[in-house]
Structure 1
Amino acid sequence: MQAAETRNGAVETGSHQVLTFTLGEETYGVDILRVQEIRGYSTVTRIPQSPPHILGVLNLRGSIVPVVDLRMRFNLERAEYTPLTVIIVLSVESAVGRRDFGVVVDGVSDVIDVASNDVKPAPELGEQVSTEFIEGLAAVSGRMVMLLDIDTLIGGDVAGLAAAPAATAA
């Protein structure tokens, strides 16, 4: 995918807003239009036999929302949850449709404007390292922000949980 090209090949101009968050020392970003809610970390209900990175589910105004620990999903060192730990509720598109998903992150930074022509493609790191969930990299205020393709990153988990009750619109 080219930096200024969308998935369907249309050329994108201008900028878009991205919510940035941290995992350890690294900064990541997701399209702000996918963010449904940001909430403090709260205990979730575990689901038996789910993958280790899926912590469980929480009840969000009557909707059952699966929650993923992004540190575990990225195979990062485990960290204790603190008062800064948050759950970002995102709208994810997958083969089974649109569904809300929560992701646990160390902390939310801010909302930034990212110019489309400033987004560089993810580097090819060989077969051992998967980067298909990285839409691109952008240098913002002297730091590198990894822009995540949340559909690719979480979409497989949505399909895997298709047997669970579907989330209703909040």
Structure 2
Amino acid sequence: MIKLKVSDINSYLSFKLGEEEFAVNAGRVLSILEMIKITEVPQSPSFMKGIINLRGRVLPVIDISMKLGMQPTVFTSNTCIVVMEVEMDNTSARLGVIVDSVQAVIEVEKEKVLDAPKIGSRYKAEFLEGIIQQGDGFIMLFDIDKVFSSMEIVALTQSTPTTLVEQLSDK
């Protein structure tokens, strides 16, 4: 069996954060969930909304808008959690990422991906794999592995209080 690298996949899941449209490589997306109750974790980073029980596993949930310096997500009927796998320093972690709405799965030919702007962007260029033009606007392609530092991944995946883990695992 041939195993594809995520970088070989040309499909992206697009989603809205505020008025902006972003996309992440579909190879990183594990599932899309409707909003459910999120249990807050004391003394966690401000962008971490808390944790949920996902099939018996504790899943940290983050508000990626806040991580990017945007306004916190206002929950609506379209708000959802995109479960993604993030790789950092040869380890992987699963995170729930809150988005305003999921738009579509789009196919992007590598030659259509433009370089991310190095200046004048509200978002750090290293977070972006590139951008694609769609109509009069642009879709920014996240390199989700670079959005979080290795220290943040460790904090998100290992700082969950044991009592909360036990409580959620029992549900």
Query: Which category of TM-score, normalised to the shorter sequence, fits these structures?
Result: 0.7 to 0.9
Partner of 1:132: helix, strand, or coil? Answer: helix
Contact persistence 1:39–1:87 (CA under 8 A): yes
Distance in 2 (CA, whole Å) between partners of 1:161 and 1:79 is: 19
Query: Structure 2: 5+ residue runs without aligned partners?
Result: 161-171
What's 2:71 paired with? Answer: 77
Partner of 1:161: helix, strand, or coil? Answer: helix
1:47 aligns with 2:35: no
Structure with the bigger RCO (C-alpha within 8 Å, sep 6+) is 1
**Pairwise mapping of residues 20-31 of structure 1 onto structure 2 (< 5 A)?**
20-31=14-25
Identity across matched positions, percent: 34
Name the amino acid aligned to 1:44.
I
Deviation at 1:25, TM superposition (A): 1.2
Q: Higher helix share goes to which structure?
A: 2
Name the amino acid aligned to 2:99.
V
Name the amino acid aligned to 1:17.
S
What's 1:161 paired with? Answer: 156
- The count of corresponding residues between Structure 1 and Structure 2 is 154
Runs of 4+ that moved beyond 6 A? none
1:119 aligns with 2:113: yes
What's 1:98 paired with? Answer: 92
Contact persistence 1:96–1:162 (CA under 8 A): no
1:133 aligns with 2:127: yes
| TM-score (norm: length of structure 2) | 0.81
**CA pair 155-129 structure 1, distance change in 2 beyond 3 A:** closer
Distance in 2 (CA, whole Å) between partners of 1:32 and 1:129 is: 21
- Aligned-residue CA RMSD (Å): 2.4
Query: Structure 1: 5+ residue runs without aligned partners?
Result: 1-5, 7-11, 166-170
Deviation at 1:91, TM superposition (A): 0.7
Distance in 2 (CA, whole Å) between partners of 1:96 and 1:48 is: 28
Distance in 2 (CA, whole Å) between partners of 1:91 and 1:116 is: 22
